[in-house]
A and B are shown apart, each in its own frame.
Chain A
Amino acid sequence: MIFRCKNCGGNVVYSPEKHGMYCPFCESEGSQNRQESQTGAMSLCPNCGGEIPLEEHTSAGQCPYCDSYLIFNERVEGVYAPKMMIPFQMGKEACKGLLREKFKKFRFAPADFMSEARLNSMRGMYVPYWFYDYETGCYFQGEGTKVRVWRSGNTEYTETAFYAISRSMDISFRKIPVDASEQMPDDVMDLLAPFDYSQMLGFSPEYMSGFHGEKYNMGSDAVENRANLLMKADALKLLKESYGGYHSVRVVRQDVNVRESHADYGLLPVWKYIYQYKEQEYPFYVNGQTGKIVGTAPISAGKVWGYTITLWGCLTVILTLLNIIMGLI
């Protein structure tokens, strides 16, 4: 499908800044008209008829010939229909600004690292996620100590009191996110969290116009182990918080029992910038809602040497000149 402008026929996209559909050609707002492909062939652009080099899991993308943003029905409907999504809250320009701010003090990055030309290659994409709900019962049993030290004359007394601790709590986890994309690195996707679920909406293809997207390519069973580990780690931390105040605690028994679990499919917004340097890729991911950045800047060896040697030279010359001046005064 494609969204056309009722007024000018241009391609209408979702604008994070305006929080609505927007035609970049005639600047109309809310003028979108959904148009389905006439041929029914997914690999043909409904706007220009050009053949689109479609990747296996792509659910939204851009026609390389006419630059129209397309959403592929088969990959957002039926079993691939997302239940929920957070639309992009941050546009490309805002995202560029954040990246520039973060790396402005990093002197040793290549000169073009934050250039307009390079940053323009940044793409906004909806990453498929599974969201897990868990109803759990958590138990803890252990032995805690409280220590008191005091002095009397030349003698120091250390009193250690031992306590039997037990806790029992129910924890309901909601929407623990785990990415369902083989292409996205798991550790990076985990670091991009958290997302603010108060802006979570029901799925609507309009939000995808103007961006790229993927359908899930890993089933909920395949990635549940990651959600389970995150849930258990959080449950144990919450248990630990409940028995604070002891000098030391020895765990006798602790359990996290899952009574009920459930998974839903949804999409989350991520900006992706890939910088190529010396035949190596440096990917940067930006949370399209909160602006959190994950990525490590490349280092230009030329700049490291150039700047360090210049600094060394400047300091040496300054000290030498000061020495000469002191001798002349």
Chain B
Amino acid sequence: MRQGWQMEKDFKKEAIKQYLRYFGVWFGVIGVLAALCIALSLGKRENLKAPAERVYDYAGVLTEEEEENLRSHIAQTERKARIHIVLVTVSLPVEGTEAKQYGLRYTDWERNMQDLADDFWDENGYGYNKDFEGDGVLLLHNWYPGQNGEHLSTSGRVEWAFSMYDIDQVLNAVDRYYETDPYKAYMAYVDMVDEMYGRGIRGIVPWAVILILPLVAAGIYAAVNLRQKKAANTTAVNAYVAGGKPVLNGKSDEFVRKTVVTRRIETNSSGHGSGGGGGGGHHHSRSGASHGGGSHRH
């Protein structure tokens, strides 16, 4: 009785050993990743070079109070999203020969707006995690009469996360209010960046995938491991035949008749096209940094 009980105890121990031996590597990987996670979250991930200022109202469309409110709102959003959010308003001619006087490269409105936005970002060294190609977004709004419009410059993880559709969504949020209430338009800019970035970046691996993929993999694992190779009949057809083969006494293959059937062959051909995708408005700025972005002109 005691011996049987001891045996059961040993088998349980063996079962635990087998389990730990089998999942040891998995538990090890989890331990390493968890340690990495802790180390990364404890480690400083900041850009000390970038200025503290986020709101540059050179066009003077905001009151002091509105600017303060915007700064506060941006700071709150930045903490949550871990990106830099910058707003610049100007009133500059950025089109035609007039633009050249301001040191701009082109006579084209859109390309000059892009240059201005990218240069402002790069020269100030913005970017949540680093001062070159760091994570963040900058809205440049030009209020110059007849050249009113915005350009959104994206960098780092925001560039990676924002498609042209996302950029349009942010600019549309600004467009909705800029004429009647610039402050409301820029608050909407900050909110929309937070929302669109939240959708894109916080789902590097979407939660649906994190929940479903392991479930499918575990199901496949169980199904594969439940299968057992059954013993098959391995006796050769001539295993019990004396000499290994029969004695052939007679063999005849006599041609009897022939039939021929004809069929007309129909030929056909077809083709198809395809589309593409990627980070919205990808390009390189004058400093060589990678940016994304897009503009709306009014």
Q: Which of A280-323 contact B (CB under 8 A)?
A: 292-297, 299, 303-304, 306-323
Q: Tell me if A234 is interfacial: C-beta within 8 Å of chain B.
A: yes
Q: Tell me if B257 is interfacial: C-beta within 8 Å of chain A.
A: yes
Q: Tell me if A154 is interfacial: C-beta within 8 Å of chain B.
A: yes
Complex Cα gap A163–B14 (Å): 67
Complex Cα gap A193–B58 (Å): 93
Interface range, B side: 35 or more
Within the complex, what minimum Cβ distance (angstroms) separates B36 from chain A? 6
Known: A294-B231, A321-B30, A326-B204. A155 touches B263 (CB 8 A): yes
Q: Tell me if B250 is interfacial: C-beta within 8 Å of chain A.
A: yes
Complex Cα gap A212–B222 (Å): 39
**Residues in chain B near residue A242, CB distance under 8 A:** 246, 248, 251
Complex Cα gap A299–B222 (Å): 12
Give 13 A-B contacts (CB < 8 Å), ordered by A residue. Answer: A111-B15, A115-B14, A117-B7, A154-B265, A162-B259, A164-B252, A174-B241, A238-B245, A296-B228, A313-B214, A316-B211, A320-B210, A326-B205
Q: Tell me if A108 is interfacial: C-beta within 8 Å of chain B.
A: yes
**Residues in chain B near residue A159, CB distance under 8 A:** 258-260
Complex Cα gap A319–B23 (Å): 16
Q: Tell me if A170 is interfacial: C-beta within 8 Å of chain B.
A: yes
Q: Tell me if A39 is interfacial: C-beta within 8 Å of chain B.
A: no
- CB of B242 within 8 A of CB of A173, answer yes
Supplied contacts A169-B247, A172-B247, 19 more A-B pairs, CB within 8 Å: A107-B225, A112-B11, A159-B258, A161-B255, A161-B257, A161-B258, A164-B253, A165-B252, A166-B251, A169-B249, A169-B250, A173-B242, A194-B234, A234-B241, A242-B246, A314-B23, A315-B213, A326-B205, A328-B40
What residue of chain A has the Cβ atom nearest to residue B227's Cβ? A106
Complex Cα gap A172–B240 (Å): 8
Complex Cα gap A323–B209 (Å): 11
Chain B, 27-61, contact with A by CB distance < 8 Å: what is the 0/1 string?
A: 10110011011001100010000000000000000
What residue of chain A has the Cβ atom nearest to residue B238's Cβ? A238
The residue from A167, A309, A322 contacting B218, defined by CB atoms under 8 A apart: A309
What residue of chain A has the Cβ atom nearest to residue B40's Cβ? A328
The residue from B26, B233, B262 contacting A314, defined by CB atoms under 8 A apart: B26
Complex Cα gap A124–B242 (Å): 30
Complex Cα gap A319–B234 (Å): 46
Q: Tell me if A266 is interfacial: C-beta within 8 Å of chain B.
A: no
- CB of A157 within 8 A of CB of B246, answer no
Chain B, 191-234, contact with A by CB distance < 8 Å: what is the 0/1 string?
A: 00000000001101100011101110111011001101011111
**Residues in chain B near residue A169, CB distance under 8 A:** 246-250
Q: Which of B101-116 contact A (CB under 8 A)?
A: none
How many chain A residues touch the partner (CB < 8 A)? 80
Q: Tell me if A324 is interfacial: C-beta within 8 Å of chain B.
A: yes
**Residues in chain B near residue A108, CB distance under 8 A:** 225-226
Question: Which 9 pairs of residues, A with B, have the shortest CB-CB distance?
Answer: A315-B214, A111-B15, A168-B250, A312-B218, A172-B242, A321-B33, A328-B40, A112-B11, A171-B246
What residue of chain B has the Cβ atom nearest to residue A158's Cβ? B261
Known: A108-B226, A157-B260, A323-B210. A308 touches B239 (CB 8 A): no
Within the complex, what minimum Cβ distance (angstroms) separates B108 from chain A? 37
Known: A158-B260, A327-B204. A163 touches B253 (CB 8 A): yes
Q: Most chain-B CB neighbours within 10 Å: which of A138, A157, A316?
A: A316
Complex Cα gap A329–B202 (Å): 13
**Residues in chain B near residue A168, CB distance under 8 A:** 248-251
What residue of chain B has the Cβ atom nearest to residue A190's Cβ? B233
Complex Cα gap A202–B235 (Å): 24
